[in-house]
Amino acid sequence: MVCCENGHCEIPNNDLGFEKALAFLKAGRKVAMSGWNGKDMWLGYCKGSPDADVPCLPYVYIEYPIGHPVYPKGCYVPWLASQTDILSDDWFIVD
């Protein structure tokens, strides 16, 4: 069972469902899915800044690290979950 309270998370095996992976994202961890075609990519979570001059709502992004073949300089791209992503149980925490 995943427990994410007050920024503290117990880390289970690397066989998370999407709902548990989302809880880790919101707690500041990075997650990925072992079934993805691409390697060396993970999801992150931005809490947003609703009180800024130009408000930004929370969102999930996929991160390509520096040196990735597609984006050699690294890149954050907004990400939406597909039905396959939501129903998968092969999410894991990226250290």
Q: Is the pLDDT of residue 5 over 70?
A: no
- The residue with greater pLDDT, 7 or 31, is 31
Longest CA–CA span in the chain (Å) reads 41
| pTM of the entire predicted model | 0.76
Q: Is the pLDDT of residue 13 over 70?
A: no
The answer to whether the CB of 4 falls within 8 A of the CB of 24 is: yes
- The string of DSSP letters for 57-78 reads --EEEEEEPTT-SS-TT-EEEE
Mean pLDDT score, 66-83 = 90
Mean pLDDT score, 1-12 = 50
Mean pLDDT score, 36-42 = 79
